[in-house]
């Protein structure tokens, strides 16, 4: 089973989803801005992806800076609390497959998680082909 924590308004997330579907797989799509996160979910996803809450913090096009969350003194616990309170603060897409879990930013990160290579090229959010390497 493949699961994508997805934001349909994000080009990178849309491209990761298209890449998954290009393998013939239909993933479970979780629109995390609608469903939100639990602390446990985030801890599990970040541990499986081998990233810290700080590495998963979305700093562009989010309120992270205005909330003071980009300050290095802010703890992981405080970052997790903020991500639970406002799901936009967690970067995306997070993709889970039997091969592992990864933050698929950039989009090409999704390719290593897929059960088979996509049948067509993978593009980034700006439309540039990133897989196979042009």
Judge if pTM exceeds 0.85. Answer: yes
Sheet holding 28-31, edge to edge: 28-31, 3-6, 94-97, 100-103
What are 126's two structure tokens?
């700006």
pLDDT value of position 41: 95
What are 55's two structure tokens?
């590495």
Domain ranges in the chain are 3-131
Q: Rounded CA gap, 31 and 54, in Å?
A: 21
Q: What is the pLDDT of residues 67-86, one digit of tens each?
A: 999 999 999 999 999 999 99
pLDDT value of position 85: 97
- Which one from 2, 4, 7, 10 is the annotated catalytic residue? 10
Q: Which fold has domain 3-131?
A: Glutaredoxin (3.40.30)
Active site residue 10: yes
Look at residue 95 and tell me whether its pLDDT is greater than 90.
yes
Q: What is the pLDDT of residues 117-129, one digit of tens each?
A: 888 787 887 888 8
């Amino acid at each position: 089973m493949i699961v994508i924590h997805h934001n349909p308004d994000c080009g990178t997330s849309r491209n990761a989803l298209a890449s998954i579907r290009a393998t013939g797989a239909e993933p479970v799509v979780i629109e995390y801005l609608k469903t939100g996160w639990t602390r446990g979910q985030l801890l599990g996803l970040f541990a499986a992806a081998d990233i810290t809450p700080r590495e998963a913090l979305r700093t562009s096009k989010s309120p992270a800076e205005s909330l003071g969350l980009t300050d290095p003194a802010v703890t992981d616990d405080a970052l997790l609390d903020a991500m639970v309170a406002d799901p936009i603060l967690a970067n995306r897409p997070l993709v889970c497959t039997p091969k592992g879990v990864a933050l698929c930013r950039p989009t090409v990160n999704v390719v290593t998680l897929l059960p088979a290579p996509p049948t067509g090229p993978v593009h980034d959010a700006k439309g540039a082909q990133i897989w196979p390497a042009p």
